[in-house]
Chains A and B, each alone.
Chain A
Amino acid sequence: MSVLVNKDTRVLVQGITGSAGSFHAKLMLEYGTKIVGGVTPGRGGQKFENKVPIFDTVEQAVKGTGANATVVYVPPAFAADAILEAMDGGISLIIAITEGIPILDMVKVKRSLGSRPKARLIGPNCPGIITPGECKIGIMPGHIHKPGHVGVVSRSGTLTYEAVDQLTKLGIGQSTCIGIGGDPVNGTNFIDCLKLFNDDPETEAVVMIGEIGGTAEEAAAQWAANNMTKPIAAFVAGSSAPKGKRMGHAGAIISGGKGTAKEKFAALENAGIATTANPAEIGITLKKALEKHH
């Protein structure tokens, strides 16, 4: 029914006593996510909301709770350290919400991830991951989602909510929605997610939301052309963006004339992916692609 997370996922919250961490930990608990522990150095032994045990280190938290996933709300200057600690603690799924992590910190994290094939990082600078009705890890509004069979993968936050909202209003539910983040160096990319959705028997189609900068969409289009058996509907944000200007996300920049929305749309269309230039029609584009496929 889903990829990566489900009702049995046991989640730690790193930075659970901070303002973002505590706010979203409460919302995740309300959604029904199995939050089994929190980590804040120096606060070990205390409890969050009188029920979730807090630990000083990830290692202790894993030992004490059997957690297999963690979500990082730690401030940017310390976030890479938190991700590396989660990897060291043996966590297999690390979701980094934090925006603004220095890029050279992420270069080190990415290098270290390469030597740990069992660890997967989602993000950073992302809304997280949700399997509707089962497990919400991140900052997305739970109520706009609906359990179903469409996978969503996106570099954006609120634009993903927009797309999910369109799907739900059309009566189309989602298997799992993954925000891969808006930074130039991230853990999980489009191809990783397309592979997961392609192999998930419960996912019937995928919505893919890209944006200007880099060549991840082009690579994903190439992979999909050769491997994907399920229909994809895609949108790329930033057709109207000027060159050489960073559009909010650290990774959303057309540099040296490369990474334009035009190139990305062309690559996606060449791969037989249904695209729309109108962000208000992402849901309907998926619906049509699904109908055509059946």
Chain B
Amino acid sequence: MKIHEFQGKEIFRRYGIPVPDGEIATTPDEAQKIAEKLGGKLVVKAQIHAGGRGKGSLTKAAEIHGVKVVTEAKDARAHAQALLGNALHTHQTGPEGQVVRRVLIERATDIAKEYYVGLVLDRETARVTFIASTEGGMEIEKVAAEMPEKILRLGVDPATGVQAFHGRKLAYGLGFTGDTANKAAKLLAKLYQVFIDTDASLVEINPLVLTKSGDVIALDAKVNFDDNAMTRHPELLALRDVEEEDTRERAAKDAELSYVALDGNIGCLVNGAGLAMSTMDIIKYVGGEPANFLDVGGGATAAQVTTAFKIILQDPKVKAILVNIFGGIAKCDVIASGIITAAKEVGLKMPLIVRLEGTNVELGKKLLGESGLSITPANDMLDAAKKAVKAAGGGK
């Protein structure tokens, strides 16, 4: 689960991680009031769930960027007005961008030097691991690719948790000295505590800055949470902004299905993540383009299939639907009945190609053939993919 920068900064504040003074505005009036209250040089920052907002610009006006430094309250208001309600596109959004619904107005910082610090789970060592670099402001993936020697990595033993030396090692490693090294070290230890306490999957400050007056401040805050742990964090679930999520992905998530939208025209409905990916792969292998990834889970009940059909049908690009169910323990006749019920309930008109495998497979195929719906049974994955590509008009 992702949250906004301003929400991440609120969490940082609670842990004593210094962030610039600032407030959130949803209207130009609010932006002006906040700007007048804060006074002086300010930064107006678009709040969307995507990085690259400074370089990103409005879909309808390329000269207007997501982040702007202003000195007058009226300019803060003008920039808020320009951003609010309009789509901002960055390298992390699609070309259509994401609509800006809030702007963060902050006091500007006199930057002496910028750094990158983040925490992720390292899969190989199974440890929460610090990643730090002197190349602040740059995307860490780019630094890793171009200047891997500039990246410091430090895993934390879960049995001890973060220790003071972790912070010192990183702070001195980044070139901090004297009192600022102490400040940076303390900040890093607190950052680890944020990660653990919130069941985060990513915590990132880019840039972390050393100010001209010697303070160490988080100018940005990116915090993602582990979806699997959210049941024990009702307070964090309240931070979810559903407007930032793809409508179909959101509907799938709410129905406990796993859905990812793609660009093709063959809708896929599969049980199990590995088989769902393979179904997309085989569609591509035979020259077609999948419209989505959709995993209905190992079981595939009629209710889940109905919801899945509804989600797939929201995509106007879809010309045919391929259902690939390896029933295994579940009986194919039961699954077939579920598919027929679901197809009737949603009034499915487009070609539906169904591959079933498992117990009672022949009975399942017979039911599909006699359903009166436009269902084409397939013998195996390859057969199903070929039939689906043909039904969709030969792929993309």
Interface residues of A (CB under 8 A from B): 27, 76-77, 100-108, 110-111, 139-141, 143-144, 154-162, 165, 182, 184-185, 209, 211-215, 235, 237-242, 245-252, 256-257, 261, 277-281
Contacts and interface: CB of A to CB of B under 8 A. Distances in A.
B396 to A, nearest CB: 12
Contact of B380 (A140, A213, A252, A280): A280
Contacts of B262: 240, 242
B281 A237 contact: yes
Nearest to A239: B281
Contact of A103 (B226, B281, B282, B326): B226
Contacts of A159: 272, 274-275, 277-278
B12 interface: no
Contact of B144 (A108, A211, A256): A256
B121 A156 contact: no
A235 B381 CA distance: 15
Given A104-B199, A280-B382, 11 more contacts: A158-B270, A159-B274, A162-B381, A184-B121, A184-B123, A237-B275, A240-B281, A240-B284, A247-B277, A248-B273, A279-B381
Contacts of B123: 184-185, 213-215, 251
B158 interface: yes
A8 to B, nearest CB: 25
A165 B357 contact: yes
A159 B279 CA distance: 10
Contacts of A144: 328
B383 to A, nearest CB: 8
A100 B228 contact: yes
Interface in B56-107: none
Contacts of A240: 262, 277, 280-281, 283-284, 290
The 4 A-B pairs at the shortest CB distance, nearest first, are namely A156-B274, A248-B273, A158-B272, A159-B274
A105 B121 CA distance: 12
Given A157-B298, A159-B278, A111 B157 contact: yes
Interface stretch (B16-24, B124-132, B168-176, B211-219): B124-132
Interface of B: 121, 123-124, 126-128, 140-141, 144-145, 157-159, 196, 199, 201, 226, 228-229, 231-232, 258, 260, 262, 270-285, 290, 293, 295, 298, 326-329, 357-359, 380-382, 385
A157 B276 contact: no
A248 B276 contact: yes
A186 to B, nearest CB: 9
B275 A107 contact: no
Nearest to B328: A141
Nearest to B127: A107
B274 A111 contact: no
A112 to B, nearest CB: 8
A140 B228 CA distance: 23
B155 to A, nearest CB: 10
A158 B258 contact: no
A104 B126 contact: no
A110 B175 CA distance: 33
Nearest to B282: A279
Nearest to A261: B281
Nearest to B256: A100
Contacts of B385: 280
23 contacts: A76-B231, A102-B226, A103-B201, A107-B128, A141-B329, A156-B274, A157-B272, A157-B275, A157-B298, A158-B274, A161-B326, A182-B273, A211-B277, A212-B277, A239-B284, A246-B258, A247-B260, A247-B276, A251-B123, A252-B274, A256-B140, A278-B285, A280-B385
B158 A107 contact: yes
Contacts of B277: 159, 211-212, 237-238, 240-241, 247-248, 252
Nearest to B197: A104
A252 B274 CA distance: 9
A107 B119 CA distance: 14
Contacts of A105: 229
B272 A185 contact: no
Nearest to B276: A248
A139 B298 contact: yes
Nearest to B296: A248
Given A154-B274, A249-B273, A277-B281, A104 B326 contact: no
Contacts of B144: 256
B229 A156 contact: no
A162 B273 contact: no
A212 to B, nearest CB: 7
B329 A248 contact: no
